[in-house]
Amino acid sequence: MFIVKIVSVRSLALCLVAQALLASISHAHAPSEVPVFEITPVSSTIQFDVEASVAIKGTFDKWDATLTFTSSDVTTAVLDVKIQADSVDTGSGMKNGKLKGKDFFDTKQNPWITFKSTKIVQTGPDSFEADGDFTIRGVTKPEKLIVIVFGKGTGSGAIKGTMAFDRKQYGMNSGIPFIRIADRVEVTVDLKAKRVSGPPVDLKQ
């Protein structure tokens, strides 16, 4: 004897809805499979320094940065920094105005200075090289950020890095009257980061 069970379309639909809800709830409570970090601009800094006959150094007051991973492998990290160029602050209104102008940052036409890493290589227990695309004045070129990480294994710490570039390669060929300026510009970042979820990052010892 064969017994045939007939399931109504309504019952089948209810079952499918219930399964979908259970799956979404399970996914919502599942632990993150990748490290998730937050960078806090309030306690972080981005600075620059140019050798000149009169000191030209300063900070950027408005910027945002993210550090994302696709796995716990540190080499999957992507550091993305986005700076508002007109937030430059040298402590001098004259220098600020000159740097914002068309001969240098040209902030009206190019409001953003950005760096996005394309490759991360661990070079020591706490040191890394981050190759990336650097954009200023609308010109993008590959540059290298040399990084040291502090607070390894604690879930929070600092990412301190230095990058140097030739300003003339980005169209900043002019100078400032009566001030001799070098071509080399050094940028330093001091980013405070905290892991808010996910597993620890795998680092070589």
pLDDT surpasses 90 at 58: yes
Among 181, 162, 169, CA closest to 48: 162
The per-residue pLDDT for 5 is 38
The per-residue pLDDT for 27 is 42
pLDDT digits (tens, 9 = 90+) for 16-34: 444 554 444 444 434 458 9
164 contact partners, CB below 8 Å, separation of at least 6: 184, 185, 186, 187
pLDDT digits (tens, 9 = 90+) for 96-117: 999 999 999 999 999 999 999 9
pLDDT surpasses 60 at 202: yes
Alpha helices in the chain (DSSP H): 9-29, 93-100
Q: What are phi and psi of 157, to 5 degrees?
A: 170, -150
| Structure-model confidence comparison of residues 21 and 81, the more confident one | 81
The per-residue pLDDT for 32 is 55
pLDDT digits (tens, 9 = 90+) for 125-179: 999 999 999 999 999 999 999 999 999 888 899 999 999 999 999 999 987 776 7
Domain boundaries, given as residue ranges, for the chain: 31-197
The per-residue pLDDT for 109 is 97
Query: Of the segments 13-22, 80-89, 175-184, which one has the largest average pLDDT value?
Result: 80-89
**CATH class in words for 31-197:** mainly beta
Task: Answer whether 0.95 is exceeded by the pTM.
Answer: no
Give the residue-averaged pLDDT of 67-93: 96
